[in-house]
Chains A and B, each alone.
Chain A
């Protein structure tokens, strides 16, 4: 071998070695996918931000995608396929359609991908390896207990502004509220909205402020003496308040809600919402990323249901119902502070 020849060989081997090292270190970086229902609901926007922050902190790579709208199952299936192609070994997902997504999950699990459901379970719950979510039933129970205490034995006429028929989260919060209030209701497994004679009006708000307002107006028209309003989320609660204010009735009515977004906590502080159950999407996301990194490093899968917690936030605490004030609520809230 001539000296120049050997120099070329050394150079070549050196480059190959460096390249192999590069590939190896890239292969070491865990790739985690996050698929939310939509890109537009602030809840999911915050969840994505939390996941990104956790991923950066742990040196993982985050791929994210979402369906086009609530219920867009096909979009989520496509996202799963794309992420596997992108090297994701763990996928965090908030399923738009809890039943329809299961076959796609099973197919991916057969290739060794770990699935963690965030915020809402797949159906059956065991279809994913793990579930990190709010206990939506408990969220309802807390505000139900609060409302009962706040009404202190007065005769109640309750209006419920629900999501829309058949949605598990909508049913769990509604039935939990009833149960916490002391009314007979279905358990956490049901998708049906329970009724009772104390509930004088049940309307669908679709989680939307304007529709919540219209629903509340029509309910008030039916029963001008409504004094308790359960709402599926804080935009619906804001709409309900607008309707009550326009009718001059906002002072005597207790509005309770679920979510704990920063805008909602502001409304609790302003007295629009009496109490809200705060949930923690950022915690769901960061727990999910942690689990993904753990799986990539040790091969150990996350399992079962982890309650990411729910806290009752109110500035008018009631005895017998544990709660925190809006200062804590604002510290922990998700959204734009």
Chain B
């Protein structure tokens, strides 16, 4: 009667297959696509969204969602750059302050969700607007330039075998590896899955679900803070209008990566794959000379495919 556990659901193999297919396709369309240099470039281009997506994955695993991620990231970037330039603060301290601000927003989101029991969609809709306004006000709607060199370290590269590898992408990959391990092998990580899969059951077994959720939101804020440093390092400026498309892009990456919006299922590495898929399409289409609007169209189609595959594979497993 007992069935063997099935292969990993299509939802997790899916993004890998899609990525491989996309890479194969673009390799045939342009001889400039398949090179270490180009892949290093794509990784750099998805590094900010990819890091935001780690935090977003944690929240979506608990069956929540964070609409404020991009805006909070932008605020973190403005805080750290403004403190380092106008206020003359030590750059490391300024970076820490920026990250703390992001974690603060995470804490606010988490408290509203756990104490007042508001749905995360609504809470983060509100904090998204608040973060955006605070960013505009604090920056005076101006970009902040002339940053100290320490702050843009993660934008710089080193060469290995003729290819330029970016420090920021190494950091992102390290963060993904750590988060993947923590979600798989540590108690807090498993509890995140449990809370998302069946919050009532988890509560009944004695796990402090509210503490788990609070930890998730604050940790997500930390990842947004790291993403803001990577964004600042990549562009070399503090941009108050950063992060606006990253909001939905991060959620897209998580969904394409096979994490279920209903919580409790998904692998964080999938979000990296999801971000890479979008990056590969954007890069590949530009190399082919195709207008950027098609990239948007394809992303929309992929999202629908990803969610449909997830639903069908789940029905098939029963």
Contacts and interface: CB of A to CB of B under 8 A. Distances in A.
Chains A and B come from one and the same complex: yes
Contact of B293 (A165, A210, A211, A214): A165
A41 B289 CA distance: 30
Interface in B32-60: 32, 37-38, 41, 44-45, 48
A266 B292 CA distance: 30
A40 B140 CA distance: 9
Given A42-B142, A165-B291, A201-B289, A213 B234 contact: yes
A266 B237 CA distance: 14
Contacts of A40: 136, 141, 240-241
B231 interface: yes
Interface residues of A, number: 32
A211 B235 CA distance: 10
B143 A235 contact: yes
A217 B157 CA distance: 15
A221 interface: yes
B286 interface: yes
B64 to A, nearest CB: 26
B97 to A, nearest CB: 22
Given A40-B136, A208-B241, A214-B45, A219 B286 contact: yes
Interface in B296-313: none
A246 B145 contact: no
B286 A222 contact: yes
Interface string B121-148: 0000000000000001000111101000
Contacts of B17: none
Interface string B259-287: 00000000000000000000000110011
Given A217-B45, A218-B282, A263-B143, A239 B235 contact: yes
Interface residues of B, number: 35
B242 interface: yes
A236 B56 CA distance: 28
B234 A203 contact: no
A163 B136 CA distance: 22
A191 to B, nearest CB: 14
Contacts of A239: 235
Nearest to A166: B293
A45 B136 CA distance: 11
B142 A242 contact: no
A42 B235 contact: no
A187 to B, nearest CB: 22
A49 B239 CA distance: 21
Contacts of A215: 286
B304 to A, nearest CB: 23
A263 B41 contact: no
B98 to A, nearest CB: 17
A222 B30 contact: yes
B236 interface: yes
Interface string B95-115: 000000000000000000000
Contacts of A208: 239, 241
Interface string A209-248: 1110111011101100000000000010011001000100
A204 interface: yes
B287 A222 contact: yes
Nearest to A206: B245
A2 interface: no
Contact of B283 (A41, A211, A218): A218
A208 B246 CA distance: 13
Contacts of A41: 141
Interface of B: 30, 32, 37-38, 41, 44-45, 48, 136, 140-143, 145, 155, 157, 164, 231, 234-237, 239-242, 245, 282-283, 286-287, 289, 291-293
Interface of A: 39-42, 45, 164-165, 201-204, 208-211, 213-215, 217-219, 221-222, 235, 238-239, 242, 246, 263, 266, 335-336
Given A210-B235, A238-B237, A239-B235, 13 more contacts: A39-B136, A40-B141, A208-B241, A209-B143, A210-B234, A214-B282, A219-B286, A221-B37, A221-B38, A222-B289, A242-B234, A242-B235, A242-B236
Pairs of residues from A and B, 6 with the lowest C-beta to C-beta distance, nearest first? A218-B286, A204-B292, A222-B287, A40-B141, A214-B45, A210-B235
25 contacts: A41-B141, A203-B292, A204-B291, A208-B239, A209-B143, A210-B235, A210-B242, A213-B234, A214-B45, A214-B282, A221-B37, A221-B286, A222-B30, A222-B32, A222-B286, A222-B289, A235-B143, A235-B239, A238-B143, A238-B236, A238-B237, A239-B235, A246-B157, A266-B145, A335-B142
